[in-house]
Amino acid sequence: MKNTVKSISLLSLALVLGACGTSAPTASAPIGSTPAANRASILKATPNTPTLWFVELAGDPTTLSVQSVSGQQASFRAQAAQQGVKYQEVRSFQTLFNGFSVQASEAEINRISRLPGVLGVYPVKEIAAPKVEVNLTDALTPDMFSAIKMTGADVAQNELGLTGKGIKVGVIDTGIDLEHPAFAGRVVAQYDFVGDDYDFGKPTKPDPIADDCGGHGSHVAGIVGGNDASKGFKGVAPEVSFGAYRVFGCDGSTSEDIMIAAMEQAYKDGMQVVNLSIGSAFENWEGTPSAKVGSRMVKKGMIVVASAGNSGASGQYSMGGVTMGDNVISVASISNTEIEVNKFTLSSGETIPFMAGDPAPTGKAGVTLPITKLATSTTTTATDGCLVGTANPYAAGSLTGKAVLIRRGTCTFYEKAKNAQDAGASAVILYNRDSGYLAPSLTGASSITIPVAFVNDASGAKIDSKIAAGVSMTFADGKISIPSPTANTLDSYSSYGLSADLELKPDISAPGGNIRSAYPLEKGNGGYATLSGTSMASPHVAGAAALMLQAFPNTKAKDMRGLLMNSATLRWYRNPAGTLFTGLPDYVQRQGAGMVDIVGSYYNTVRATPNKLSLGESASFATRNKVVVLKNTWTRTETFKAYHYPALTVGGTTLAPAASQAYATMTINGQDADKADVMVTVPAGGETELNVVITAPAGAPDKSQYGGYIVLESSSGQNMVIPYAGFKGDYQSIQALGNLTIGGASYNFPALFDDKEDTFFEEGEVATAPIDYTFKGIALDPSKPTELTNDAPYVIAQLSHQVRKMTMELLDANGAVVDTLLKQEYLGRNCTNNVALTSNTCDAYNTYAWDGKLSNGNAAANGTYQLRLKALKAQGDESVATDTEVYTTQKFTVARP
């Protein structure tokens, strides 16, 4: 019963993962059949395997008594038992989340979702350990480089006397190294939820102390407020007290329900500020459990700071997790002004900094090599080191035992390095044709096995001038500090907003690229390391919040975000080629209000409400009217000049954003804020309203995200920014259920899969033979007869955008609804639409399976059926037909023997 027109071997689907990452999409075509002995490699999520889910009950625990919450949960358990629902309770929550995490099949969780009092069910997400670049060395004084100066923390400490003393900061992470001198005697609360050996899916074995064997948590805590006098190291708030909440083992991932348990514990322990440098990419809804818990922490008086995420390379709408919570402070990453790089020395005495090619070795310290170059090479040669036709420009063996100097230009870094390697070179020195440094990509058809050092144009010219007289290089140990080529701009990995509800996120930015801070002593290197990521940006803002809370102890948790945001300073856009664009600020959807300015926050006495403006879609409101209230908390009248400062618009596509200079227009109090300053006076101790009218940019691309700032400047030195953001066009016009690229071919998904026949059926495809399922265990690999897969239907869907609600229905032969099999809410989009680009942190599709049972637990009778997926779009209205995308499978037969 093989469909021979558009069917695909499921093993082939798995094989193309590693083989076709750079293939260009082609027309849809069959990939071919698979030898039966290899079918164990099928790429799919096994249907009907028990999954970890959140079950949320209707009552908000922050407004109910403990007795009421306990009563609701007892009632749920009783009803589930009475109806014979099969599940295993893993954790229960009563403080900030009313419900449980449970182990249950999709069929059982759907039955649970229909029980009285159940507000919703959500998959418990696996949260990968934060990925960061780690440079271990003790060659330099670990003072966080210039990062502490970028935020004004140094001035706050040395001139304003702010240290965070008396403020308790909870760090939910890999723990804190309790023996490290940067934290000596300052960890006042700790809780280990997992143990050293924990990974997602494994049992937890908590330790008595929340010590850190991973490193990430100590680094984060060091940025918040480490203090090591012996090394001259200080974090942002060097006298805070810490709560250490360990949710990761030494390696591997954690579970979202464990993270929520830690958030509840931090609340119970009285933490005033909590930092979460962890998240769940693409789950960018305020209504997901972790974001909702973050919101409730703020509601209960805690300042919650969370990283925006490191999924910027995956495009728009890529944030997720706690950072999406209402009044949670979401933090993007800005590159440090200085970076640590490798170095070598010349025989003439100069030390040369370099960035290492990737992937390639960095060079063994002490190795000395004479430097040479092509006879035709000059400091203006564009084709230096490139193939001449198809010939290597270097004679075979001519570079043996030598380092070769090659100028950037024309061909790829890989081609230049490969040609040198093939001629016997022991190292390559690439130098820039422009100013600055970069890390050259050396990905190609085969490996580069020799060091490739990239230096700037000045260093390249210096080396070039010495070759004729004879010069050698020696790789040196340790690192050297140089000005960052991306200084003070958004790091490319920092995730994009907006939220799925079109709320403006992230909120603010801070240094995150190349930050030096504490690291576990057991890892050596003096207990310090340089890491990069939004994980490093978030604790800068958590530390800043601690300083502001010390300075202004009556500040409400929900108001801290505005205090920090409205004093931020804007950053400008650096394009993928490294060129800085100074015409308009970087996307609001990447930097929020801009770089945190601690000193500005301390001195600003005027507060803005709201502190940011989310404008929604222009199809509904092409022009939006907003009122911003300015409140003066001081005894001096402030007069501002107010004007509109638009930012770049995010054009392109979801997966490939592109900058557009089309921008909105604005009036303030009836005056054109694009052409002239609008004078605004805020009386001492009083309030003034700004009546703001923003019109979406007519020239912006459809489905783009625009944004900008209301800027207020006072003669007294107070400067404020109020960011805004909106969506150009009809938000529901974004396609949610997309096609899937497999082996370079685009297939019309969603699709119905049939494991027994090793095929799938694209949307709208006419099956050439009957499709049936027996729901019996089948061995896909004859050599492993005991490894069985259930012969059952399942649908694979590619989510190109966030989905508010996904429903799967069972239809009879006439298309009538027999039952609702599955209902999920607040779904994140997939990371990619190409299976060749997937990884353990980036998926291309979701799987929706049917186990042959109805929602009441009874088996469906043999007969003819269809499955129907209904995807309610983000901000969609179920009463509007076009707001829901519908996919219906081909008819199939349930044919149990």
486 pLDDT higher than 90: no
Contact between 193 and 204 (Cβ < 8 Å): yes
43 pLDDT higher than 60: no
pLDDT band at residue 360 under the 50/70/90 scheme: confident
Query: Does 339-482 carry CATH code 3.50.30.30?
Result: yes
Q: Residues 233-259: pLDDT tens digits?
A: 999 999 999 999 999 999 889 999 999
CA–CA dist 412, 414 (Å, integer): 5
331 pLDDT higher than 60: yes
CA–CA dist 31, 53 (Å, integer): 36
CA–CA dist 619, 729 (Å, integer): 5
pLDDT band at residue 144 under the 50/70/90 scheme: low
- For residue 531, the model assigns a pLDDT of 87
Strand-pairing partners, residue 275, are 171, 305
Higher-confidence residue of 779 and 813: namely 813
Q: Residues 426-465: pLDDT tens digits?
A: 999 999 987 778 778 898 888 999 999 999 999 999 999 9
Closest-CA residue to 735 (of 661, 808, 829, 823) = 829
Average pLDDT of the residues in 537-551: 98
Q: What is the CATH number of domain 141-337+488-598?
A: 3.40.50.200
710 pLDDT higher than 80: yes
Average pLDDT of the residues in 575-594: 88
pTM of the model: 0.88
Sorted by sequence, the CB contacts under 8 Å of residue 149 that are 6+ apart come out as none
**Inter-CA distances, 811 with 762, 823, 865, 892, Å:** 18, 15, 5, 11
768 pLDDT higher than 80: yes
Closest-CA residue to 273 (of 197, 180, 145, 168) = 168
Average pLDDT of the residues in 387-401: 94
Set 535, 538, 614, 855: catalytic member: 535
HSE-CB at 19 with a 13 A cutoff on CA atoms is 9
Average pLDDT of the residues in 148-160: 95
CATH 3.50.30.30 boundaries in the chain: 339-482
Radius of gyration of the chain (CA): 29
Match 């940006």 to its residue by tokens: 537
Task: Assign domain 10-43+735-894 to its CATH architecture.
Answer: Sandwich (2.60)
41 pLDDT higher than 60: no
Average pLDDT of the residues in 10-20: 32
**Inter-CA distances, 651 with 495, 620, 657, 706, 724, Å:** 15, 20, 6, 9, 17
Angle between helix 289-299 and 557-565 (nearest 10): 100
pLDDT band at residue 19 under the 50/70/90 scheme: very low
Sign of torsion over alpha carbons 590, 596, 600, 603: positive
pLDDT band at residue 3 under the 50/70/90 scheme: very low
16 pLDDT higher than 90: no
CA–CA dist 398, 401 (Å, integer): 9
Type of residue found at 579: T
CA–CA dist 140, 366 (Å, integer): 20
Contact between 644 and 665 (Cβ < 8 Å): yes
Sorted by sequence, the CB contacts under 8 Å of residue 570 that are 6+ apart come out as 585, 586, 591, 594, 595, 645, 647, 709, 721
CA–CA dist 834, 149 (Å, integer): 42
CATH 3.40.50.200 boundaries in the chain: 141-337+488-598
CA–CA dist 627, 826 (Å, integer): 30
Sorted by sequence, the CB contacts under 8 Å of residue 869 that are 6+ apart come out as 737, 750, 795, 797, 806, 807, 808, 848, 886, 887, 888
Sorted by sequence, the CB contacts under 8 Å of residue 532 that are 6+ apart come out as 132, 133, 333, 491, 493, 512, 513, 514, 515
CA–CA dist 477, 342 (Å, integer): 8
- For residue 135, the model assigns a pLDDT of 53
pLDDT band at residue 134 under the 50/70/90 scheme: low
Q: Residues 488-526: pLDDT tens digits?
A: 899 999 999 999 999 999 999 999 988 889 999 998 778
Set 180, 216, 540, 801: catalytic member: 216
Type of residue found at 547: L
Sorted by sequence, the CB contacts under 8 Å of residue 465 that are 6+ apart come out as none
Contact between 744 and 23 (Cβ < 8 Å): yes
Strand-pairing partners, residue 191, are 245
- For residue 518, the model assigns a pLDDT of 94
- Domain 604-734 classification at class level: mainly beta
Q: Find the distance separating the first CA and the last CA of the chain, reported in whole Å.
A: 17
Average pLDDT of the residues in 299-326: 96
Q: In what order do the strands lie in the sheet with 671-672?
A: 606-609, 623-632, 687-695, 665-668, 671-672
6 pLDDT higher than 50: no
139 pLDDT higher than 60: no
pLDDT band at residue 550 under the 50/70/90 scheme: very high
The lowest-confidence range among 609-623, 775-789, 869-883 is 775-789
30 pLDDT higher than 80: no
Query: In terms of C-beta density within 10 A (0-12 exposed, 13-18 middle, 19 or more buried), how is residue 635 classed?
Result: exposed
CATH 2.60.40.4070 boundaries in the chain: 10-43+735-894
Query: In terms of C-beta density within 10 A (0-12 exposed, 13-18 middle, 19 or more buried), how is residue 749 classed?
Result: buried
- For residue 37, the model assigns a pLDDT of 31
CATH 2.60.40.1710 boundaries in the chain: 604-734
CA–CA dist 607, 640 (Å, integer): 13
34 pLDDT higher than 60: no
Q: What is the CATH number of domain 51-124?
A: 3.30.70.80
CA–CA dist 478, 788 (Å, integer): 54
Set 154, 173, 212, 507: catalytic member: 173
- For residue 510, the model assigns a pLDDT of 97
Please give the helix or strand (H or E) that residue 585 lies within, else none.
strand 580-585
- For residue 133, the model assigns a pLDDT of 52
- For residue 131, the model assigns a pLDDT of 61
Average pLDDT of the residues in 386-396: 94
Mean pLDDT score of the chain:
90
Q: Residues 658-695: pLDDT tens digits?
A: 999 999 999 999 999 999 999 999 999 999 999 999 99
Q: Residues 258-278: pLDDT tens digits?
A: 999 999 999 999 999 999 999
7 pLDDT higher than 70: no
- For residue 574, the model assigns a pLDDT of 86
Sorted by sequence, the CB contacts under 8 Å of residue 293 that are 6+ apart come out as 96, 97, 260, 263, 264, 322, 325
Contact between 781 and 40 (Cβ < 8 Å): yes
88 pLDDT higher than 80: yes
Q: Would you call the peptide bond into 782 cis, given omega within 30 degrees of 0 as the criterion?
A: no
CATH 3.30.70.80 boundaries in the chain: 51-124
334 pLDDT higher than 90: yes
535 classed as catalytic: yes
15 pLDDT higher than 70: no
501 classed as catalytic: no
pLDDT band at residue 39 under the 50/70/90 scheme: very low
